[in-house]
Amino acid sequence: MRFEAIVVGVSAGGWQALHRILPGLPATFPTPMLIVQHMAPSSDDYLARSLNDFCALTVKEADEKEIIRQGYIYTAPANYHLLVEQNRTFSLSTRATVNYTRPSIDVLFETAADTYGSHLIGIVLTGASHDGSRGLLEIKKAGGLTIVQDPRTAEAPFMPQSAIDMVPVDYILPLDGIIPFLAALVSTRTLK
């Protein structure tokens, strides 16, 4: 099975979690990763710039109509929903908040599931809301692979626990186990 994209949702505790795991991705990691981190509407692109300083892959904020490219990590801009279009480009939306937030994890996950189907990996990390649970369920229904951070390793366990409660998750992994698992999965391209 070839995975075309990875979507990640993270909220409270996300800054630390992302800075802890993403530097572990090798420069040769081909699968694009799309991240929604809940943040204040007035935030700038500091998250992407900071991660870019520590990662072997290029990390940047997604732009409207940008083509999703292999070997990149994209973050949602503050105060915009990040959507994946059928032609594998991004669109940004200022429509109403979803789960009291914009960007919403569910919006990214649902549009990515519609686009990539069974060739998508969805990951829910630390957070203090239920955002991402409904979207992860859509990924599962589309035949994608679902991963949730073990709530015992999360700074804020509510969001991963909510996903586990709603979705028959494929893998529940400790934070430090997620990147080695992805690297092995992408390199073999098959599940054992």
- Catalytic residue positions? 11, 38, 131
Instruction: Convert the chain into a string of H (helix), E (strand) and C (coil).
Output: CCCCEEEEEECCCHHHHHHHHHHHCCCCCCCCEEEEECCCCCCCCHHHHHHHHHCCCEEEECCCCCECCCCEEEECCCCCEEEECCCCEEEEECCCCECCECCCHHHHHHHHHHHHHHHEEEEECCCCCCCCHHHHHHHHHCCCEEEEECHHHCCCCHHHHHHHHHCCCCEEECHHHHHHHHHHHHHHCCCC
